Structure 1
Amino acid sequence: MTSPSSSGDREKVVSKLPGWLRQDLKVRAAQHGIEIQTAVEQGIQAWIGLASTPENIDTSGADSFATFLPEGQWEAFKTTATDRRVSLIQGLAQSVQLWLDTNPAPHIERPAVTRRIVVCNQKGGVGKTAITAGTGEALAEDPNTLHPVRVAKALTTALRASAAHTDDAEQGNERLDVENLPGLGLRVLLVDFDPQCHLTNQLGATPLPMNGDSLTNHMAGDPKGDLRDLIVSVDDETFGGRLHLLPACHDAFLLDVRLSAVRAREAALERALLPLEKDYDVILVDCPPSLGLSMDAAAYYGRRREGERPGQSGALIVVQAEDSSADAYDLLTNQIEDLRNDLALDIDYLGIVVNLYDGRRGYIATSSLQGWVDIKDPRVVGLISDLKEQKEAVRMKQPLLSYAPTSQQAVGMRALAREIS
């Protein structure tokens, strides 16, 4: 059945498809960045041109499916289906499957140099751990499943509306445009570099024992084994074994003291993690709220390496829309600038994430947000609202993106991951 349509020179076509086939089509079209109607058009065109009829497809349970095709293509399709003595539903299913077979899922584009993202701020309580976990989860999500993502233009809308405290600046920015996109499917290691072990605890892992091996020991030049043996997998089907965690140990409280006796101490974190890099596309380091030697080592680890494009690795700074975050930001950036100058390093700023934002807190929040937006370099790359789902996920010791995958915070984390990709 067809009906006139306003979609250019196309006509609306209504038929049926099995739910599983429609879902595969939806995901694959998104993976290739084309519209579903274009994929169906290409599939039908290829099916009509076949020399023989493909094998039958199980169409049991097929339900309504509508799309738009070029004028005349559906009539040509029906003629071919009649000649081949197959139903329109079967012919359409074969056409869609043919397109899927000839357009396989694209390979995940992996960086030539493992990306190193240092999530930092000297001030505690801004939510560095939540941003580290959420960003890592978004980078590792299933590439064969669609996930709701806030579209890029919506970040600008959110910043303007929230800073101005307009009606669009609601608690969760619910009015912002969202689209369903495939997961990024990257291999991600989360490094808990904070002696408080928040990232370790939030993801349901156990902090490493004080009398055992740890990242601190490896950085201090006193390893007790292979660092790889300490890594645990974040077991959730949406990450498919791609998301791992290097747990923290409380001995990291002593790290600055131990590093003071280490030669080339700025490179201590890199020496420890370098053997792991071949197994991962991205390594995210959840830094402690400190401006000591450990932060120097983290910033050095995030420096731009030879052959690496600008903006692939570097510092992701987490702040809140209040005055004390601005003071801490100044201290942190001064430290990074000193390290840049003293060691002649290229350390890129990946951006600022304004976390735990709530415009209902009034002028302090909105004016502070405007202050972050006005910085420009580094620019604001994420705005994450202060909502209950993150706190609930922490209480349940589950990843946010599996606990509440459609929440506004999860949608924002996916947008953030793409902004810095």
Structure 2
Amino acid sequence: MAGTKHTSAVQDSARKTAAELNPNGPTGRPRREFAVPPTLAQHGPARIISLCNQKGGVGKTTTTISLSAALAEYGRRVLVVDFDPQGALSAGLGISTHDSNTVYDLLLGTVKDPAEVIQHTAIEGLDVLPANIDLSAAEVHLVNEVARETILARVLRKVSDDYDVILIDCQPSLGLLTVNALTASHGVLIPLECEFFALRGVALLIETIDKVRDRLNPAIELDGILATMYDSRTLHSREVLERVVDAFGEKVLETVIGRTVKFPDASVAGTPITEFAPEHAAAKAYRQLARELISRGAIA
């Protein structure tokens, strides 16, 4: 045990020394500390942000859960919308969707009031609009609806004054549900795995956002690209991140989320990483992400 502690101390010291020698962060820009945001004097109306990427497994749900919990820690009232039929976000926050109303019922109009569907989490200030596999039938049912792309926007309009931010966890596709999310949103946050094939689809996603801006939602903007599953030990991760920064510049957030086994552990426990392992580097990274988005004006 003593040897293990000594080895860990040596590794921590080496990392600190490396950080001191290299004042730049993983994105190549100078490291910055984002200040803890001031407490809000009043709440609402919410800014709505979609977390979107048509590629699966890039960290959308993990980021939605962890970012929302970090924002709640900073006194923000947060609503997260599970807009993926897999229902991973609901499960990741310990929300049961068995025999309960979901966002699907609101889209179809069988339930009119979102307050009847919203569930509170164990974290103060963090609520969920849950989903389950029923949502997979939504595109079929909505295809003949008038103004079908704006249905989610009309649902969220009823509760936006109650929250400071609404985060929508989109499914990995660019279908009608994702278009609904983008039409309802003020901003888009793109989690991007530091892997070559994840990089290839970003141009298509940006094109979709531009089409939504032109035809449905002129106010939508790209709030940032978040590098996830970054491993500084691999040349591949470093090269992908470098290419993303070259292509998108300041739109790439300075916060970078590293790869760790703590995320699946937290998911199994049904709790955010900020609660599951509050002192872990991943939890600290998501708190920094919350502070960075607030400092950029993406969130109040």
Map of 1:270 onto structure 2: 153
Structure-2 separation of matches of 1:420 and 1:301: 19
Within 5 Å, which residues of 2 pair with 1:18-417?
107-110=39-42, 113-141=45-73, 184-209=74-99, 213-220=101-108, 222-224=109-111, 226-235=113-122, 239=123, 241-303=124-186, 314-343=187-216, 345-360=218-233, 362-374=234-246, 375-417=248-290
Q: Is this contact kept in 1: 2:39–2:75, CA < 8 A?
A: no
Q: Is this contact kept in 2: 1:197–1:250, CA < 8 A?
A: yes
Per-residue CA deviations over 1:158-191 (Å, capped at 9, x if unaligned) read xxxxxxxxxxxxxxxxxxxxxxxxxx20111111
Displacement of 1:380: 2.5
Amino acid at match of 1:262: E
Displacement of 1:322: 1.0
Q: What's the secondary structure of 2:251's corresponding residue?
A: coil
Task: Give ranges in structure 2 of 5+ residues lacking alignment.
Answer: 1-34, 295-300
Structure-1 separation of matches of 2:245 and 2:39: 36
Displacement of 1:126: 0.5
Displacement of 1:219: 1.9
Structure-2 separation of matches of 1:198 and 1:385: 20
Q: Is this contact kept in 2: 1:134–1:410, CA < 8 A?
A: yes
Q: Is this contact kept in 1: 2:45–2:162, CA < 8 A?
A: no
Displacement of 1:414: 0.7
Structure-2 separation of matches of 1:373 and 1:185: 31
% identical aligned pairs: 35
Q: Is this contact kept in 1: 2:183–2:217, CA < 8 A?
A: no
Displacement of 1:196: 0.4
Structure-2 separation of matches of 1:411 and 1:107: 19
Displacement of 1:363: 2.4
Per-residue CA deviations over 1:184-223 (Å, capped at 9, x if unaligned) read 20111111110001111111111254xx633123223x22
Q: Is this contact kept in 2: 1:134–1:413, CA < 8 A?
A: yes
Q: What's the secondary structure of 1:346's corresponding residue?
A: coil
Q: Is this contact kept in 2: 1:356–1:384, CA < 8 A?
A: yes
Amino acid at match of 1:226: D
Q: Is this contact kept in 2: 1:213–1:225, CA < 8 A?
A: no
Q: What's the secondary structure of 1:376's corresponding residue?
A: helix
Q: Is this contact kept in 2: 1:353–1:382, CA < 8 A?
A: yes
TM-score scaled by length of structure 1: 0.58
Displacement of 1:107: 4.8
Amino acid at match of 2:231: D
Q: Is this contact kept in 2: 1:121–1:289, CA < 8 A?
A: yes
Map of 1:11 onto structure 2: none
Structure-2 separation of matches of 1:344 and 1:226: 24
Structure-2 separation of matches of 1:344 and 1:406: 40
Distance 1:343 1:199, change over 3 A: closer
Measured on the aligned residues, the alpha-carbon RMSD in Å equals: 2.0
Distance 1:324 1:110, change over 3 A: farther
Structure-1 separation of matches of 2:113 and 2:62: 28
Per-residue CA deviations over 1:116-143 (Å, capped at 9, x if unaligned) read 11111000001100100111011101xx
* Count of aligned residue pairs for this structure pair: 259
Displacement of 1:364: 1.8
Displacement of 1:113: 3.2
Q: Is this contact kept in 2: 1:373–1:380, CA < 8 A?
A: no
Amino acid at match of 1:330: A
Per-residue CA deviations over 1:29-51 (Å, capped at 9, x if unaligned) read x98x9xxxxxxxxxxxxxxxxxx
Task: Give ranges in structure 1 of 5+ residues lacking alignment.
Answer: 1-29, 34-105, 142-183, 304-313
Structure-2 separation of matches of 1:208 and 1:230: 12
Amino acid at match of 2:63: I
Q: What's the secondary structure of 1:406's corresponding residue?
A: coil
Map of 2:7 onto structure 1: none
Q: What's the secondary structure of 2:159's corresponding residue?
A: helix
Per-residue CA deviations over 1:303-342 (Å, capped at 9, x if unaligned) read 3xxxxxxxxxx00001111111112212211111111122
